[in-house]
Chain A
Amino acid sequence: MGRLVLKGVSRKFNGYLAVSDVNLEVADGEFVCLLGPSGCGKTTLLRMAAGLDAPTEGELFLDDKKIEGVNKEVGFVFQEYVLFPWRTAKGNIEFGPEMKGVQKDERERISQHYIDLVGLKGFENHYPHELSGGMKQRVGIARAYANTPKLLLMDEPFGALDAQTRNLMQGELLRIWEKEHISALFVTHSVDEAVYLADRVVVLSAGPGAVKEIFDVNIPRPRVRTSPEANALRNEILKCLGAEIQRAAGSEREIHR
C-alpha cells in the first residue's frame, strides 16, 4: 500500500500564501510528477508529505492515516543528495535499518540487496565525496528504498546532474522502480523528465501554488523521448506551463522593480 491523499492543503509562511488549497491523490503504486515554475510550492508539498512541514490548512493522509509529525513511511530523495558524508555508501544505505534496530547480519543483507539493485557494486565502501553526482544519487535512492517506505518523495533528484547523466539516471530510476514498485511523488521542472517518468503529470500554478491541470501520460514504458505521442504531450504541457512561467517571471519583475 502507499496511497497519498492531500485534502485542501494550504501553507502560509509569515502571511505569504505559498500553497493554496491543493487536492491531490497519488494512487497505490502510481508515479506522479509535480511540475511547475520555481517558487510554486513543489518542495513545500513534498516536505508536508514527509511530515517535515505542516499545512496551515487541510490534511494529508498516507493510507488513510493522517500525516502528523515526521512521516517515517516515506523515502525522501533530495536534489543535493544530502548523504551522510561520514558514512560510506553502504553505511548510508544501512542508516534507516540501523535506526530501527535491525541486526547487523540483516542490515548487511539489506544493503547488499540495494547496492546490487541500484548498481553500486564496487562502490560500497566509498565515501560520498569520492563519488560522482550520479553515483551519489544512486546511494540516495538506495538509502530511501532500504527503509522500505510506502511512498518515494523525490525533490528534483536529478536537478544537479549534467544532461547525459540525468537521462541515464531517469532510465535507472524507472528500472529500479519497476523492480520494486512503490508509489512515487516526483518534483521536477523539466517537462521532458515528467513525460518520460510519470503516470500522471500535475502542473502547478505559480504563487500561490495550486493544481492547475493534471495530464495522464498514457504512453507505455519503455518510452521513447522523441515519439510522436511524447512530443504531442510535451507540447500540451508546455503550453499549460508557459502561461505560468510568464506569470512567475512577471511577478519576479514586480519584485525587482
Chain B
Amino acid sequence: MKNNTERKGLVINILSLISFVILWHILVLLAREQIFNIPFMKMKDLPTPLETWYALVGSMFTHTYGPGFTYGIFDHIKASLVRVVQGGVLAFIIGVPVGIGIGYSRLIHNILNPIIEIVRNMPPMAWIPLAIFILVTGGSIFIVFIGVVFPIILNTIYGVRSTDARIIDAARTLGASEAQIVAKVLIPSAFPSIIAGLRIGFGVGWMAIVAAEMVIQSPVGLGYFIWNMGDLGRYAEMVAGMIVIGVVGYIMNISILLVQKRFVKWVD
C-alpha cells in the first residue's frame, strides 16, 4: 500500500518536471513565432530547454567553448564548492563553540548577543562591498562564512537550551563535572540541531557564494559563469549554469541529510 503511494508520488514528481519543461519550451516558441509573449519579458531571447541542454553539454565537455574561455562547467562547480566548503567549515569551527558558549552561559549570552543580533541581520550580500574594499583576499569565502555562521550559532544555542534539565541533573548525580556536562551531555544533545543549522547554513552559503562571485571578480565560479554568460548574450549557457546551481545546491542539502541520518541514530 505504502509502496504504491510512493510510486504514485514519484510518477507525479516526474510528470510535473516534464510538464514544466514542456511549458517552458512552448512559451519560448510562442514568443519566437510572435504569437504570445509574457508581458515585460523578452521570452524570445530565452533558450529552449533543448538549447539549454546543448549548452550544458557543451560547457561540460570542452574547456574552450569560445575564444578566451579556459574553464569548463566542472571547474566552475568545483571553484564554488571549494569556497562554500572552506567558508562553511570555518563557520562551523567558530559557530559551534560560540553557540555552545551562549547556550550554556548567561554571561557569554549577555556579552555576545547584542552583537550577534545586529550582525546577523546584515544579509551576506551587504558584506560584499566590505569584502571587496577592506579584505585583502578570500572575499567570497568570507561572504559564505557570514551566511553560514549565524544559522549554525542560532541552532546550536537552541540545541543546548532545549536539553532536558533533568538529563543534566542525572549527569550531575552520576558524577559529571561542568566540563563533562558540556562535552558529554550538551554537545551530543544539541548535535541534531547543530546539523540542522549546518544544513540551513549551507543553503544560505550557496546563495551567498553565487552572489559574491558575480561581484567579486575571479575568472572561475558558478556566479561568475552565469553573470559572464549573460553579459556575453550567451543565455543558453547562463540558464544551464542556473540549473547547475540549483542541482548542486539540492545535492548538498541531501548529502547533509544523509550525514545526519548516519550519525544520529538515536532520534525516533
A residues contacting B by CB (< 8 A) are 47, 50-52, 70-72, 74-76, 78, 80, 82, 84-87, 95-96, 98-100, 127-129, 143, 147
> Of A47, A75, A82, A100, which one neighbours B167 at CB under 8 angstroms?
A82
Q: Are B185 and A84 in contact (CB under 8 A)?
A: yes
What is the minimal beta-carbon distance from B70 to any residue of chain A, in angstroms?
A: 49
Report A-chain residues with C-beta under 8 Å of the C-beta of B132: none
Q: Are B189 and A78 in contact (CB under 8 A)?
A: no
Q: Are B180 and A86 in contact (CB under 8 A)?
A: no
Contact-residue bracket for chain B? 20 to 34
A-contacting residues, B8-67, CB 8 Å: none
Q: Which residue of B lies closest to A95 (CB)?
A: B174
Q: Are B174 and A147 in contact (CB under 8 A)?
A: yes
Separation of A209 and B227 alpha carbons in the complex (Å): 74
Separation of A71 and B164 alpha carbons in the complex (Å): 20
What is the minimal beta-carbon distance from A65 to any residue of chain B, in angstroms?
A: 16
A sample of 17 cross-chain residue pairs with beta-carbon separation below 8 angstroms, ordered by A number, consists of A50-B169, A52-B169, A72-B172, A72-B173, A76-B173, A82-B164, A82-B167, A85-B266, A86-B189, A86-B264, A87-B266, A95-B184, A96-B174, A99-B174, A99-B184, A127-B266, A129-B268
> Of B172, B184, B188, B267, which one neighbours A129 at CB under 8 angstroms?
B267
Among A52, A127, A128, A147: residue with most chain B CB under 10 A: A52
Give 1 or 0 for each of B156-178: 1 = CB within 8 Å of chain A CB: 00000000101101111111110
B262 at the interface (CB under 8 A from A): no
Report B-chain residues with C-beta under 8 Å of the C-beta of A70: 172-173
Q: Are B265 and A75 in contact (CB under 8 A)?
A: no
Separation of A86 and B268 alpha carbons in the complex (Å): 11
Separation of A20 and B169 alpha carbons in the complex (Å): 24
Q: A52-B169, A128-B266 are in contact. Are A147 and B175 (CB under 8 A)?
A: yes
Q: A82-B164, A86-B266 are in contact. Are A76 and B170 (CB under 8 A)?
A: yes
Report A-chain residues with C-beta under 8 Å of the C-beta of B166: 78, 80, 82
B127 at the interface (CB under 8 A from A): no
Q: Are B170 and A99 in contact (CB under 8 A)?
A: no
Report B-chain residues with C-beta under 8 Å of the C-beta of A143: 174
Q: Are A50 and B176 in contact (CB under 8 A)?
A: no
Separation of A129 and B265 alpha carbons in the complex (Å): 10
Report A-chain residues with C-beta under 8 Å of the C-beta of B164: 82
Separation of A44 and B176 alpha carbons in the complex (Å): 21
B residues contacting A by CB (< 8 A) are 164, 166-167, 169-177, 180, 184-185, 188-189, 191, 264-268
Separation of A127 and B267 alpha carbons in the complex (Å): 9
Q: Are B173 and A74 in contact (CB under 8 A)?
A: yes
Separation of A128 and B171 alpha carbons in the complex (Å): 16
Q: A82-B164, A85-B266 are in contact. Are A72 and B175 (CB under 8 A)?
A: yes
Q: Are A75 and B173 in contact (CB under 8 A)?
A: yes
Report B-chain residues with C-beta under 8 Å of the C-beta of A147: 174-175
What is the minimal beta-carbon distance from B46 to any residue of chain A, in angstroms?
A: 51
Q: Are A78 and B266 in contact (CB under 8 A)?
A: no
Separation of A50 and B174 alpha carbons in the complex (Å): 10
Report B-chain residues with C-beta under 8 Å of the C-beta of A96: 174-175
Separation of A70 and B264 alpha carbons in the complex (Å): 31
- 5 smallest CB-CB distances across A and B, nearest first, come from A96-B174, A99-B175, A86-B188, A76-B173, A70-B172
Separation of A75 and B173 alpha carbons in the complex (Å): 7
Report A-chain residues with C-beta under 8 Å of the C-beta of B184: 95, 98-99
Separation of A95 and B188 alpha carbons in the complex (Å): 13
Q: Which residue of B lies closest to A100 (CB)?
A: B175
What is the minimal beta-carbon distance from B66 to any residue of chain A, in angstroms?
A: 54
Q: Are B169 and A76 in contact (CB under 8 A)?
A: yes
Separation of A129 and B170 alpha carbons in the complex (Å): 18
Separation of A143 and B176 alpha carbons in the complex (Å): 13
Report B-chain residues with C-beta under 8 Å of the C-beta of A52: 169, 172-173
Q: Are A99 and B266 in contact (CB under 8 A)?
A: no
Q: Are A95 and B189 in contact (CB under 8 A)?
A: no
Separation of A147 and B173 alpha carbons in the complex (Å): 9
Report A-chain residues with C-beta under 8 Å of the C-beta of B170: 76, 78, 82, 84
Separation of A253 and B166 alpha carbons in the complex (Å): 30
What is the minimal beta-carbon distance from A257 to any residue of chain B, in angstroms?
A: 32
Report A-chain residues with C-beta under 8 Å of the C-beta of B176: 95, 99
Separation of A78 and B266 alpha carbons in the complex (Å): 20
Give 12 A-B pairs besides A85-B267, A99-B174, A99-B176 with Cβ atoms closer than 8 angstroms.
Answer: A52-B173, A72-B172, A72-B175, A76-B170, A80-B166, A82-B169, A84-B170, A95-B174, A99-B175, A99-B184, A100-B175, A129-B266
